[in-house]
Amino acid sequence: MMNSRLYGTTFAIALFALAAGACATEAPSTSAPEAGFENALQARLQLQPNLNKAKNVILFIGDGMGLSTVTAARIFTGQSAGQQGEEHVLPFEYFPNVALVKTYNTNQQVSDSAGTATAMHSGIKTRAGVIAIGPEVERQDCKASLAKQLPSLADLAEERGLATGLVSTARVTHATPATLYAHSPERNWENDSQLPPQAVADGCRDIARQLVDYTVGDGIDVILGGGRREFVGTALGGKRKQASADLIKDWLKQSPQRHFVTNNEELQALPAHGQVIGLFADSHMSYILERNEDSGEPSLPDMTRKAIELLSQNDEGFFLMVEGGRIDHGHHQGQAGLALREAQDFAQAVQTALASTNTSETLIVVTADHSHVFTIAGYPTRGNPILGLVVSNDDAGNAMTEPAKARDGLPYTTLGYHNGPGAMLKREGTPTHGPQAVQLAAIPTWAETHAGEDVPLYANGPRAHMFGGVIDQELIFHLIKHAYGWN
Ligand SMILES: [Zn+2]
CATH number at residue 133: 3.40.720.10
Report the distance separating Cα 119 and Cα 126, nearest Å: 7
Give the Å distance between the CA of 445 and the centre of ligand 1: 14
Q: Which of 113, 122, 312, 356 is catalytic?
A: 113
Give the Å distance between the CA of 175 and the centre of ligand 1: 10
What share of residues in the chain are helix, strand, coil (percent, to 5)?
Answer: 35, 20, 45
Q: Number of folded domains in the chain?
A: 2
Give the up-direction half-sphere exposure of residue 145: CA atoms within 13 A in the CB hemisphere.
Answer: 24
Give the Å distance between the CA of 306 and the centre of ligand 1: 27
Helix axes 475-484, 113-122, angle to 10 degrees: 30
Do 456 and 70 meet the contact criterion of CB atoms below 8 Å apart? Answer: yes
What residues form DSSP beta bridges with 101?
455, 471
Please say if 184 is a catalytic residue: no
Give the Å distance between the CA of 449 and the centre of ligand 1: 7
| CA 188, chain centre distance (Å) | 19
Q: How many CB atoms lie within 10 A of CB 430?
A: 11
Report the distance separating Cα 386 and Cα 74, nearest Å: 10
Q: Identity (one letter) of the amino acid at 285? A: M
DSSP 39: H
| CA 272, chain centre distance (Å) | 25
Same domain, 472 and 340: yes
Same domain, 291 and 313: yes
Same domain, 323 and 348: yes
Helix axes 300-311, 336-356, angle to 10 degrees: 30
Give the Å distance between the CA of 442 and the centre of ligand 1: 19
Give the Å distance between the CA of 327 and the centre of ligand 1: 9
The gap between the terminal CA atoms of the chain, to the nearest Å, is 51
Same domain, 356 and 399: no
List of residues 6+ apart from 240 with CB closer than 8 A: 191, 192, 193, 208, 230, 231, 232, 233, 234, 247
Do 315 and 298 meet the contact criterion of CB atoms below 8 Å apart? Answer: no
Same domain, 243 and 387: no
37 falls within a domain: no
pTM for the full predicted model: 0.93
Predicted local distance difference test score (pLDDT) of residue 7: 32
Give the Å distance between the CA of 67 and the centre of ligand 1: 15
- Which candidate, 199, 208, 187, 63, places its Cα nearest to that of 129? 187
Same domain, 120 and 165: yes
**H-type alpha helices, 182-318:** 197-202, 207-212, 247-253, 264-268, 300-311
Give the Å distance between the CA of 198 and the centre of ligand 1: 28
Predicted local distance difference test score (pLDDT) of residue 22: 37
List of residues 6+ apart from 394 with CB closer than 8 A: 400
475 falls within a domain: yes
44 falls within a domain: no
Give the Å distance between the CA of 132 and the centre of ligand 1: 18
Give the Å distance between the CA of 113 and the centre of ligand 1: 7
Q: Identity (one letter) of the amino acid at 240? A: R
Do 422 and 14 meet the contact criterion of CB atoms below 8 Å apart? Answer: no
DSSP 385: -
Do 114 and 129 meet the contact criterion of CB atoms below 8 Å apart? Answer: yes
151 falls within a domain: yes
78 falls within a domain: yes
Report the distance separating Cα 135 and Cα 116, nearest Å: 12
Predicted local distance difference test score (pLDDT) of residue 35: 57
In 73-117, beta strands by DSSP E: 97-102
Same domain, 369 and 388: no
Report the distance separating Cα 350 and Cα 257, nearest Å: 28
Give the Å distance between the CA of 188 and the centre of ligand 1: 13
Report the distance separating Cα 357 and Cα 364, nearest Å: 10
Q: Which domain holds residue 409?
A: 377-448
Same domain, 237 and 255: yes
Give the Å distance between the CA of 116 and the centre of ligand 1: 11
35 falls within a domain: no
Same domain, 289 and 316: yes
442 falls within a domain: yes
Q: How many CB atoms lie within 10 A of CB 28?
A: 17
Same domain, 320 and 444: no
- Which candidate, 319, 228, 210, places its Cα nearest to that of 277? 228
Same domain, 260 and 120: yes
Predicted local distance difference test score (pLDDT) of residue 429: 58
22 falls within a domain: no
From first to last of the 487 residues of the chain, give the pLDDT tens digit: 333 333 333 333 344 344 433 333 333 334 454 557 888 899 899 999 999 999 999 999 999 999 999 999 999 999 999 999 999 999 999 999 999 999 999 999 999 999 999 999 999 999 999 999 999 999 999 999 999 999 999 999 999 999 999 999 999 999 999 999 999 999 999 999 999 999 999 999 999 999 999 999 999 999 999 999 999 999 999 999 999 999 999 999 999 999 999 999 999 999 988 999 999 999 999 999 999 888 999 999 999 999 999 999 999 999 999 999 999 999 999 999 999 999 999 999 999 999 999 999 999 999 999 999 999 999 999 999 999 999 999 999 999 999 999 998 989 999 999 999 988 876 665 566 778 888 889 999 999 999 999 999 999 999 999 999 999 999 999 999 999 999 8
Same domain, 222 and 132: yes
